[in-house]
Amino acid sequence: MSKKQKKVLIRIIITAVLMVVFALLPVKGTARLLLFLIPYILIGYDILQKAGKGIVNRQVFDENFLMAVATIGAIVLGEYTEGVAVMLFYQIGELFQSMAVGKSRRNIADLMDICPDYAYLLTEDGEIEEVDPEDVEPGSIIVVRPGEKIPIDGVIIEGEASLDTRALTGESLPRQAQTGDEVISGCISMDGMIKIRTTKEFADSTVSKILELVEESGMRKSKPENFITRFARYYTPIVCYGALALAIAPPLVRMGLLHLTPEWTDWIYRALTFLVISCPCALVISIPLSFFAGIGCASSNGILVKGSNYLERLSNTKTIVFDKTGTMTEGVFEVTQISPAEGFTEETLLEYAALAEQFSTHPIGLSLKKAYEKDPDASRVSDVTEEGGAGVTAYIDGKKVAVGNERLMKAEGVVSEKTEEAGTVVHVSADGVYAGHILISDRIKKTAREAIAGLKKAGITKTVMLTGDNRAAADAVAKELNVDEVHSELLPADKVEKVEELLQKQNEKEVLAFVGDGINDAPVLSRADIGIAMGAMGSDAAIESADIVLMDDDPAKIVKAIRISSKCLRIVYQNIWFAIGVKLLCLVLGALGIVNMWAAIFADVGVMVIAVLNAIRALRVRE
Amino acid sequence: MKKTYKIEVDCANCAAKMEEAVKKTEGVKDCTVNFMALKMKVEFEDGADVDSVMQSALKACRKVESDCEIYL
């Protein structure tokens, strides 16, 4: 509790005690008024002061002013206890609100505790110096000891360590990193001491980017937030004029038209009850608080949401379109099948392919070399020629070997075997004789299937996969994952077109989200209603172009993000209906004279407390 | 030009009022207040003198909420 809050608490306690004691004392008349003025001034002096300033500044619909009018009115009517009580409960509500907000602010700050306070810079004469991360220039060498945060993005030049990435990705499994690996700021080195050559400035490092993003997220407001701001602007004046009308009109009508006693006191009392419920605080605080908590919850799970409007849209998502490679599959190619033709063995087939492709840096070539396991002997190979996207030809042990697609085989005058397998097929021929084919395919991510099933459960009605891969490979993955629709053999521009087509088909309120790796699908990410980039650790491009960023590349996080968003929005709407409902009810009952000031202030503060507690629920989501 | 300031304010409604007040200040193109992060982001008109604009913005805020603070 802050000093300010403690002071208010003490005032609340003293006032409460005084109020009860004085209420029991058998004092009458002016003495009683003077007695009650003590707790009233004690609890309300700051409000009265602010109300005074409000009048000077012509802020008539300021809640302080309204509280002042309501309580002074009550005292003038002789309801001393009520006047003090209204002020007391108002202060209790305010205190609770500031404590709750402060607590969730701290909670979220803890979740986002990734900002390093210092960096150990290795100077030219071999000394280690503690410096501010902002003063470290790119290309410097920094030392990170076990248990410390990596302050700046860079490459390990010495040592190895397991890195705890939980603060960034929500993933509890540590990641191994050794010399030559790129590491990003915000990770904690758990066991080893490592030296890092920094590649970026602190301001461009992952940690700074993430913190900036989270701080900015509150700036993009959602529809409920805008609604509440507008509502608050009209609610208070309407209630105030309502109170004024209630105080004047019925007594005049009674007198003038019905020839009854005007009963001024009764109607003024009812009007004052109106003023007590005129503050829109419960709504104004609980809605942004819910979004703040929801975004905080997402961040702690490695999901960065760039604004509450995106959280809102995500909760309405009905169609999810995703890219195949790198999103649902690892994007790592592996030899999955070796089918030699007659007269060749698996070993020779793979050996030819690996030797011919040994200088290639293409993923296909790399996967062949990896499958070969041995170091390819360069002296056995000569005259390697790249055949423009179709493959390579080379002389191996004097034989002319061609490794590539069907087109290359045709050019070599070889009849290749037709295959219907899913993946990339590499054909091999030796001296004009077909030697067989090797199948290279991408591995589906472990959690991909589960993620698609989870999406369906979370209310997504349509899952669509887009890919540049061939049809067989795409269909196989689609079947394995159980997605509804698949479009294959697309160029990047086709993907945008497909997404536009899907956007047109859906009805206006539905939302389409696109999930990609953010590297070459930036146009699609920005075209979709929501762009979700995945595996964004260290990728600036993805962070820039997407609305929601998944720090690691686990597709199950998409489901989690949707669950967080629906919970958050559910809470937001509960709070809106609940708070507005109770206030309207109190207004009606107050006007009818059924509810007195006590009940009104109880309801008002109670609604606020419940709404705030409800909002805080958005911080947690079930596993 | 955009600038972000740290602010101090007690209630969400007051934060919204501050936002309104700053928006109406001359030289300010747009303003958003994030009550949760206690940050105010101000977008200035081209060629506006940031210091003097912020001084009058602070004055305007004090009018709607007497105990608020903008850390300039």
Q: What is the pLDDT of residue A444?
A: 85
Q: Where are the alpha helices (DSSP H) in B1-72?
A: 12-24, 50-64
Indicate whether A280 belongs to any domain: no
Q: Are residues A404 and A378 in the same domain?
A: yes
> What's the average model confidence in pLDDT over A598-617?
88
CATH number at residue A397: 3.40.1110.10
DSSP string, A494-560: HHHHHHHHHHHHS-TT-EEEEEE-SSS-HHHHHHSSEEEE-S-TT-HHHHHH-SEEESS--THHHHH
* A23 dihedral zone (left: phi>0; alpha: psi -120 to 50; beta): alpha
Q: What is the pLDDT of residue A342?
A: 84
* Spatial separation of the C-alpha atoms in residues A445 and A555, rounded to whole Å: 8
Rounded to an integer, what is the distance from CA A141 to the centroid of its chain? 33
Say if CB A306 and CB A217 are below 8 A apart.
yes
Please give the share of chain A, as a percent, with pLDDT higher than 90: 20
SS3 A140: coil
* Spatial separation of the C-alpha atoms in residues B15 and A268, rounded to whole Å: 32
Identity of the amino acid at A357: E
Domain boundary pick from A443, A463, A479: A443
Residues in B closer than 8 angstroms to A234, CB to CB, are: none
Spatial CB neighbours of A481, under 8 Å, sequence gap ≥ 6 = A328, A444, A448, A449, A452, A465
Q: What is the pLDDT of residue A186?
A: 84
Q: Are residues A458 and A529 in the same domain?
A: yes
Nearest to A219 among B12, B34, B64 (CB): B34
Q: Are residues A418 and A430 in the same domain?
A: yes
Residues in A closer than 8 angstroms to B30, CB to CB, are: none
Q: Are residues A448 and A550 in the same domain?
A: yes
Q: Are residues A84 and A33 in the same domain?
A: yes
Min Cα distance B58 → chain A (Å) is 14
Q: How confident is the model at residue A36 (pLDDT cuts 50, 70, 90)?
A: very high
Nearest to A288 among B35, B66, B67 (CB): B35
Domain boundary pick from A428, A443, A458: A443
Residue of B nearest to A103 (CA): B36
Domains and CATH numbers, chain B: 2-71 (3.30.70.100)
Q: What is the pLDDT of residue A432?
A: 84
Domain boundary pick from A443, A462, A480: A443
Helix count (H) and strand count (E) of chain B?
2, 4
Q: Tell me, yes or no, if A229 comes closer than 8 A to chain B by beta carbon.
A: yes
Question: What are A313-323's pLDDT values in tens digits?
Answer: 999 999 999 98
* Spatial separation of the C-alpha atoms in residues A539 and A525, rounded to whole Å: 15
Nearest to B32 among A50, A101, A219 (CB): A219
Indicate whether A147 belongs to any domain: yes
Mutating which of A101, A217, A604, A605 best tests the B interface, going by the most B Cβ atoms within 10 A? A101
Q: Tell me, yes or no, if B41 comes closer than 8 A to chain A by beta carbon.
A: yes
CATH number at residue A467: 3.40.50.1000
Q: Do A63 and B13 touch (CB under 8 A)?
A: yes
Chain A, chain B: beta-carbon pairs less than 8 Å apart = 59
Structure tokens at A45: 């002096």
Residue A112, pLDDT above cutoff 70: no
* Spatial separation of the C-alpha atoms in residues A288 and A352, rounded to whole Å: 64
Spatial CB neighbours of A85, under 8 Å, sequence gap ≥ 6 = A19, A597, A598, A601
Q: Are residues A70 and A8 in the same domain?
A: yes
**Residue whose structure tokens are 């700050």:** A109
> What's the average model confidence in pLDDT over A350-371?
82
Helix count (H) and strand count (E) of chain A?
20, 22
Q: Tell me, yes or no, if B24 comes closer than 8 A to chain A by beta carbon.
A: no
Indicate whether A568 belongs to any domain: no
- Phi, psi angle pair for B3, to nearest 5°: -140, 150
Q: Tell me, yes or no, if B13 comes closer than 8 A to chain A by beta carbon.
A: yes
Mutating which of B8, B13, B32, B61 best tests the A interface, going by the most A Cβ atoms within 10 A? B13
Structure tokens at A499: 């997404």
Q: Are residues A46 and A132 in the same domain?
A: no
Q: Are residues A127 and A191 in the same domain?
A: yes
- Phi, psi angle pair for A360, to nearest 5°: -80, 145
Q: Are residues A97 and A137 in the same domain?
A: no
Q: Do B12 and A279 touch (CB under 8 A)?
A: no
Q: How confident is the model at residue A1 (pLDDT cuts 50, 70, 90)?
A: confident
Q: Are residues A354 and A439 in the same domain?
A: yes
Question: What are A406-429's pLDDT values in tens digits?
Answer: 888 888 888 877 776 667 788 999
Indicate whether A190 belongs to any domain: yes
* A108 dihedral zone (left: phi>0; alpha: psi -120 to 50; beta): alpha
Please give the share of chain A, as a percent, with pLDDT higher than 70: 96
Give how many domains chain A has, as a whole number.
4
* Spatial separation of the C-alpha atoms in residues A584 and A586, rounded to whole Å: 5
Min Cα distance A58 → chain B (Å) is 9
Indicate whether A266 belongs to any domain: no
Spatial CB neighbours of A569, under 8 Å, sequence gap ≥ 6 = A224, A311, A312, A315
CATH number at residue A133: 2.70.150.10
Give the domain extent around A127: 119-214
For residue A325, list its beta bridge partners: A329
Indicate whether A93 belongs to any domain: yes
The angle that helices A223-256 and B12-24 make with each other, rounded to 10 degrees, is 100
Instruction: Look at residues A534, A486, A174 and name the one whose alpha carbon lies nearest to residue A321.
Output: A486
Strands A511-516 and A530-533: parallel
Nearest to B11 among A57, A97, A292 (CB): A97
Min Cα distance B39 → chain A (Å) is 8
Indicate whether A596 belongs to any domain: no
DSSP string, A142-209: EEE-TTPBP-S-EEEEE--EEEE-HHHH---S-EEE-TT-EE-TT-EE-S--EEEEE-S-GGGSHHHH
Nearest to A50 among B34, B39, B66 (CB): B66
Q: How confident is the model at residue A512 (pLDDT cuts 50, 70, 90)?
A: very high
Q: How confident is the model at residue A537 (pLDDT cuts 50, 70, 90)?
A: low
* Burial class for A594, CB neighbours closer than 10 Å (0-12, 13-18, 19+): exposed
Q: Do B36 and A101 touch (CB under 8 A)?
A: yes
**Residue whose structure tokens are 């409902």:** A581
Nearest to A292 among B16, B36, B66 (CB): B36
Min Cα distance A301 → chain B (Å) is 19
Q: Tell me, yes or no, if B39 comes closer than 8 A to chain A by beta carbon.
A: yes
Residues in A closer than 8 angstroms to B36, CB to CB, are: 101, 104-105, 218, 288-289, 292
What is the residue-averaged pLDDT of chain A? 85
Q: Are residues A424 and A472 in the same domain?
A: no
Indicate whether A50 belongs to any domain: yes
Whether A323 is catalytic: yes
Say if CB A548 and CB A562 are below 8 A apart.
no
Q: What is the pLDDT of residue A338?
A: 87
Residue A538, pLDDT above cutoff 60: no
Min Cα distance A537 → chain B (Å) is 24
> What's the average model confidence in pLDDT over A65-82?
89
Q: How confident is the model at residue A536 (pLDDT cuts 50, 70, 90)?
A: low
Q: Are residues A210 and A133 in the same domain?
A: yes
Instruction: Look at residues B49, B15, B57 and name the one whose alpha carbon lies nearest to residue B33.
Output: B15
Q: Do B11 and A284 touch (CB under 8 A)?
A: yes
